[in-house]
Amino acid sequence: MCLIYSFFFILVGKSFYSKTEKDRADVPKMLLCALLGMVVNMLCFFKGIELSTPINSAVLITITPILVFVFSAILIKERLLLPRVVVVVLGFIGALVLIVFGNEIRQDAPNIPLGNALFVVNASSFGLYLVLVKSLSAKYTAVHLLKWLFLFGFIMALPISYPGLVKSVGLIAYEAVWRFAFVVIGTTFMTYLLNVYALKQLKASTVGVFTYLQPLIGIAYAIMVGADGLTAYKLGTGSVVLLGFIW
């Protein structure tokens, strides 16, 4: 999958004229960001969802804003004001309650402890990625930066993902193609592109707080398709979650 993302960003990047050239001094940081954001983050998530359950993934991903706050304070000396800390913790509690008491159709989960550990690594690597890529986003355009990050990520992930890629060729069912396209275009291309753009305008900790929207969007989609219903506790906890990014 990284191969698709890399080539897509390279093709898009070439269609934009930019006077910004890649500074060789930034290559080590680009490599680290690619490792954290494109390799460790993605591989741990997909392997974790295979071993654990979707509800565990949704619960554990909400630690990302907390980790972004911690990494921001340590690495870039970002001030952590008490009101913002309180709101983030409230958002975490709201998201946790929203997911734990929500309806879920459990899938096969052969190794939940290992899967959950991978989700924690996934959330940690993405949180650190958001903090480190902040300085690069101020220097390069979003497309130019992601073109290199995904290219580096593809090279790093290839030895690990190649065997699985070979086995899956020709096995994707026709009805699954649109889902695969959504993962490529929606949850990867648009997500990373908009994250880098947001980092140009906001603090890394602010961008991280938007992770709390994921449970809300999941519940909203379930209601829209008739898979779940709106209850008083969901409305209440949803309001608490919204505090995490409205503040």
Query: Per-residue pLDDT for 204 more than 70?
Result: yes
Q: Calculate the alpha carbon distances from 175 to 47, 54, 188 in Å.
A: 22, 21, 20
Query: Per-residue pLDDT for 117 more than 70?
Result: yes
Query: Per-residue pLDDT for 145 more than 60?
Result: yes
| Tens-digit pLDDT profile for residues 57-98 | 776 777 787 778 778 888 877 776 777 677 667 766 766 665
Average pLDDT over residues 223-241: 61
Between CA 84 and CA 3 the distance in angstroms is: 39
Query: What was the pLDDT predicted at 35?
Result: 94
Name the residue among 191, 145, 159, 199 with its Cα closest to residue 16: 145
Query: What was the pLDDT predicted at 129?
Result: 93
Per-residue confidence at 162, pLDDT binned at 50, 70, 90? Answer: confident
Indicate the average pLDDT of the chain. Answer: 75
Between CA 48 and CA 60 the distance in angstroms is: 11
Q: Calculate the alpha carbon distances from 210 to 91, 124, 161 in Å.
A: 10, 15, 29
Q: Residue 179 CB: number of other CB atoms within 10 A?
A: 11
Query: What was the pLDDT predicted at 210?
Result: 75
Q: What is the largest CA-CA distance in the chain?
A: 55
Name the residue among 145, 129, 116 with its Cα closest to residue 71: 129
Query: What was the pLDDT predicted at 232?
Result: 67
| Tens-digit pLDDT profile for residues 180-195 | 777 777 778 788 888 8
Query: What was the pLDDT predicted at 2?
Result: 53
* pTM score, whole prediction: 0.77
